[in-house]
Structure 1
């Protein structure tokens, strides 16, 4: 997920990831022209992929507890509640992820609800 710059060891973001605006509590990112508004604790490192059900990025969580990996995958599901079918799909995916526990499946850690005034994305 991370490309390292050989000169200074700093992580290099892929060409699809842009930091647009840093606020007091949140940072706005552009990934594949999809906007991610994340708490400042997260720093997007790379775009993993984008498809019919959302866009996934690899990110560093700067506030993970000691002993926990600080790399996380973040998935943004656009228009998750725009139509009852989309809402059912989203709920089904979240339920399944919550129940699965396997070394080849990432754990569901948290869900970020849409912020006030935003579209109904999660």
Structure 2
């Protein structure tokens, strides 16, 4: 994980392949139930279009935000290492098994019948 400081209040977090993943921003946020304003560190999913970024987590400090980003990158790296080529991650079936599973049997009829004429 690499962290690049973009300005006094923002840091860009890169994964091991030097791809931007997260943006850490130090900014004020309002606690709605009490109406208090606090300066916190927000972690957002990186996108080059600012309107398309979305908030992932709010942390009390920069080091907490960096630790959270490191943990998330570790989880995604571990998931990528466990991924097997040609296997559906949701079901664990290979491509031909998945095709057989979703294929129509000879006895099954399509769910939509043609309109009678």
**TM-score category by the smaller chain?**
under 0.3
Bigger strand fraction: 1
The TM-score, its normalising length taken from structure 1, stands at 0.24
Bigger helix fraction: 2
